Amino acid sequence: MVTLPGSFAKVGWLEGTILLAGAVTCSTISLSLLDWACDSIDDAVAPTASNKKKKKTMMNPSTTSSYAGLVAHTLGRFGSQALESLTLAFCVGQVVANLGAIGGQISSLLSLTLDGPAVPSTSDCTWFAAICLMFPMSLLPEEGS
């Protein structure tokens, strides 16, 4: 979402719209496949009359209702831990990228009003955005919690 305007500016409106439609299509297909996979596993592990007699250890079908549950069922404990680690790394990367984008925008806006050496660098603006804007906002309680 942060790079969407820049992407449209580089490739143009027509190509940007085509690429965006392609991304929507790929996302829809992947979500449909994920839903299908979860349903398939849930159907396979759902207790039936014959399975109850065998007293096999059954997996709770609600554990595969998410991507993490599907990975844990398919790849086991290591796959689940790898997914959580990669998700954490992705979130940290997103925070760094967003702070860099915000710092760049603040620096650009200040360069319009200030002259010469008085304009702070992008890294200074990034630190300002992190410490003075984002950190206090992260301390606010969430409305839904």
Give 41-95 pLDDT, tens digit per residue: 767 666 554 545 444 444 555 566 667 777 777 777 888 888 889 989 999 998 8
SS (H, E, C) the chain: CCCHHHHHHHHCHHHHHHHHHHHHHHHHHHHHHHHHHHHHHHHHHCCCHHHHHHCCCCCCHHHHCCHHHHHHHHHHHHHHHHHHHHHHHHHHHHHHHHHHHHHHHHHHHHHHHCCHHHCCCHHHHHHHHHHHHHHHHHCCCCCCC
Note the pLDDT of residue 29: 92
Please give the model's pTM, rounded to 2 decimal places. 0.52
Amino acid letter at 92? V
- Residue 135 and residue 127 in contact, taking contact as beta carbons nearer than 8 Å: no
Using only the alpha carbons of the chain, give its radius of gyration: 23
Give 95-140 pLDDT, tens digit per residue: 888 888 888 888 888 888 877 677 788 888 888 888 888 888 888 8
- Residue 129 and residue 101 in contact, taking contact as beta carbons nearer than 8 Å: no
The most distant pair of C-alpha atoms in the chain lies apart, rounded to whole Å, by 81
